[in-house]
Amino acid sequence: MKRIVFTIAVGKPKFAECALGLGRSLKLIGDTTRRVVLTDLTDMPWADCFDEVIPYTGDIKWIFFEKLTALDRTDADQILFIDSDSLVFKRLNPIFEAGAGNGFCVQGEWISSGEWYGDVAETCRTRGVEAIGQFNGGMIYYERSEEVRSFFAKIDELGRQAKELGFQRDDPLVPDEPCIGLALAETGFGTLWPDNSDFQNSATGLIGKLELDVMRNRCGFLCRRYGVRYVEPIIFHASRYINFLIYWKQLDRLKWLSEYGKKHGFGYMSPGHKLKRSIHKRLIKWWIRP
């Protein structure tokens, strides 16, 4: 089974910087899954942390649906789409293993009321379903099969009806999440991993401090989502935190580490470290002498 991590960086250069941060975080933790980026931002150092770059020339209005196109764009059998504004803190094997054989998987919960791209109760009533799948589309797992292709055709059909279905955004982009959530309900196909799987988390409902540190490989926080609990996700999806300095500081640190690796060879020891070792060596010799 050929596995890939698939991401998209289209439009503003900042999205390329985000995607490079994602790739660098995967490289830093030693995840060896092949990394593929779909982008129209070609003048970037993609080769530093991505194995394949696919040029994008499409309708930006449908950009969210491009995350489901890896079956056509690559030869991969197992695809893990991760939003470009994400950082990974643990290797991805557990996610691929949990998804294997399930066709299509996202992490979330079934909802039958409230507001999510419109009135959920009204959507359920008009479409004749008990609930729809609510999830964060920053991470989606899918596999190569005819059943998945048929499922994607259903999602595309719902996307064409998004306006009539009342699925709303504050911009002209067509939202993929409610279309996928409704397709899960209407077809019965796919798996909705429970939200406490913590494969991915965007710190929605953050309580207190967001602990985010790529230098220590640390990501943990308390948040109120479907319940109040502490989370240490495999993937942190910055989402609304893309507008906070803490996220961009992590991207700067990842860039610095990438450059450090290029400039220094195996086992490099800084002059300061060498001096400290020399001083300690003398102190140890003095301290333990007969």
Q: How do the domains of the chain map onto residue ranges?
A: 3-263
- Sign of the Cα torsion 138, 12, 213, 94 reads positive
- pLDDT value of position 290: 58
Q: Which residues, listed in sequence order, are joined to residue 8 by a DSSP beta bridge?
A: 38
| pLDDT tens-place values along the chain, 290 residues long | 899 999 999 999 999 999 999 999 999 999 999 999 999 999 999 999 999 999 999 999 999 999 999 999 999 999 999 999 999 999 999 999 999 999 999 999 999 999 999 999 999 999 999 999 999 999 999 999 999 999 999 999 999 999 999 998 888 999 999 999 999 999 999 999 999 999 999 999 999 999 999 999 999 999 998 899 999 999 999 998 999 999 999 999 999 999 999 999 999 999 999 999 999 999 998 888 65
- pLDDT value of position 1: 86
Which one, of 244, 211, 2, 191, lies nearest residue 89 by Cα?
211
At 90-131, the pLDDT tens digits run 999 999 999 999 999 999 999 999 999 999 999 999 999 999
- pLDDT value of position 104: 98
Q: Report yes or no on whether pTM surpasses 0.85.
A: yes
Which one, of 287, 187, 254, lies nearest residue 24 by Cα?
254
Which one, of 142, 133, 129, 146, lies nearest residue 186 by Cα?
129
Q: Which residues, listed in sequence order, are joined to residue 5 by a DSSP beta bridge?
A: 35, 80
Torsion of CA 189, 203, 93, 148, to 10 degrees: 20
Q: CATH for 3-263, among 3.20.20.80, 3.90.550.10, 2.60.40.1180, 3.40.50.300?
A: 3.90.550.10
Cβ 239 vs Cβ 204: under 8 Å: yes
- pLDDT value of position 285: 87
Which one, of 39, 40, 20, 23, lies nearest residue 31 by Cα?
23
Q: How many CA atoms lie within 13 A of 13 on its CB side?
A: 3
CB environment 268-286: b (16+ within 10 A), e (fewer): eeeeeeeeeeeeeeeeeee
